[in-house]
Amino acid sequence: MSQKQSQPEIRRRLSPNQRNYEPSHHIDAGFLNERLLQVFVPQELCQAIEERFGQSSQLHAHFRDLQRDHDYIRVALLVAATRKARSSLEVLASAQCCVDDVVCSTDRILGDNSVYTDNRVCYQIHTNLDVSQTMWLDFSPRHIKADTTRMEICQRSPLSYIGVVREVHPDRIVVAPLVIGAPWLNACPDLLPDFGLIWTHGEFFENFVEDIDEFQRVAEVERDEAGQAWKVLKEIPESNIKQAICSMLRESAAKDWGGERSDHFSSSLHLSGRRVTAAFLLKGPARFSVMKATHLGKNGDQITRLASEPAELLILQHSHLVSPPVRDTLRAFAVKPSAPRRYCVIDGPDTYRLLKAYGLLPPQKAANQPLQPTSNKKRVRASRKSSSAARG
């Protein structure tokens, strides 16, 4: 596989400014349980939706019903945000769940052909976490409104959903879904996108190191995943990488401590000029190999703690490559349909590019020294000391 082919599609096709666009998250109207929706959504809002479309006699019945469904989904997402809905991984990682809790998430639903034949199905949610409970969606396929959604469930494609917990057992949590559908994006009304928003639904909200204004110089260094140069990072401690990143942000690096949720929290980052808060999880060269879930503590709890930070951008840094399941897990925590956040993975090749672009790669023999460019004054002083020692 070539270098370009190994990169995410959104990285190849979109520019940093396009990836930094701010759409709202929506869910395609593939499955709707109208009875549960009308219990979940406040009565006055249900009434407003019904009145609006009761007066829309000019619309064809199909389009009227479709717009009505999308209005219910928009309102349900707002209600889910108000009720502080959690993603499936947040629920499972916390091991704390009650009946009537709201789940709003994007996951692979482990469906099968029974979605075409059975009156009722119960499918497990896929997770890369090693947890004691599993989560299941229990529903009737008769509420499916689109053949595409039925196919996506059968094919185990990533789907977004809003649901309410109906049963909690020691080994499983059963959720009744109100809405299930493909992740969908709505354009910002103040600024229309200059790219095909419809083709990026499943990938959007991922950022890359070159998208961050403070790291823009990285674009001057080509990414070379297949090369060997970036493997010098094996000799650079995590603390030095942290110090280097903080120097780029013109911030001080705080001391690490056992109860921290992230390795660094910043309010100095910008995405195309828009200021955002960011939380960093820095793994450095620890276990210098492709990052898997086992690199992230018991049950992947380091990502769980990172996601608990009140940050708009979650950044995971590792000095080697990062496996797709880890990326998927970070996305599942970050991109909750009712309150989506952005996430960024800075792997070994991108860490190398970043340090090289800002002149912070130390000589290989001194890789364990602080990553700070040496000033002219320091070099002069060092030279004088060396000369004095020689004369002595």
**What percentage of the chain has pLDDT greater than the value 90?**
72
Is a pLDDT exceeding 80 seen at residue 38?
A: yes
Which residue from 111, 112, 41, 48 is spatially nearest to 78, judged by alpha carbons? 41
Give the per-residue pLDDT at 258: 62
pLDDT band, residue 315 (cuts 50/70/90): very high
Dihedral angle sign, alpha carbons of residues 83, 85, 90, 94: positive
Domain residue spans in the chain?
Answer: 24-186, 205-376
- Mean pLDDT, the chain, rounded, equals 88
CB 38 within 8 A of CB 71: no
Is a pLDDT exceeding 60 seen at residue 363?
A: yes
Instruction: Characterize 290-329 residue by residue with b for buried, 16 or more Cβ atoms within 10 angstroms of its Cβ, and e for exposed.
Output: ebebebbeebbebbbbbbebebbbbbbbbbbbbbeebbbb
- 3-state helix/strand/coil string of 224-269: CCCCCHHHHHHHCCHHHHHHHHHHHHCCCCCCCCCCCCCCEEEEEE
pLDDT digits (tens, 9 = 90+) for 266-293: 999 999 999 999 999 999 887 899 999 8
Which of 24-28, 64-68, 336-340 is the least confident region? Answer: 64-68
Q: For 209, how many CA atoms within 13 A lie in the half-sphere containing its CB?
A: 26
Average pLDDT over residues 201-206: 90
Give the per-residue pLDDT at 57: 57
pLDDT digits (tens, 9 = 90+) for 98-157: 999 999 999 999 999 999 999 999 999 999 888 889 999 999 999 999 999 999 999 999
CATH class of the region 24-186: mainly beta
pTM for the whole structure: 0.86
Residue 3 main-chain phi, psi, to 5 deg: -60, -45
Average pLDDT over residues 240-247: 94
Give the per-residue pLDDT at 257: 67
Per-range mean pLDDT, top range of 1-5, 9-13, 69-73, 361-365: 69-73
- For the chain, the C-alpha Rg in angstroms (whole number) is 24
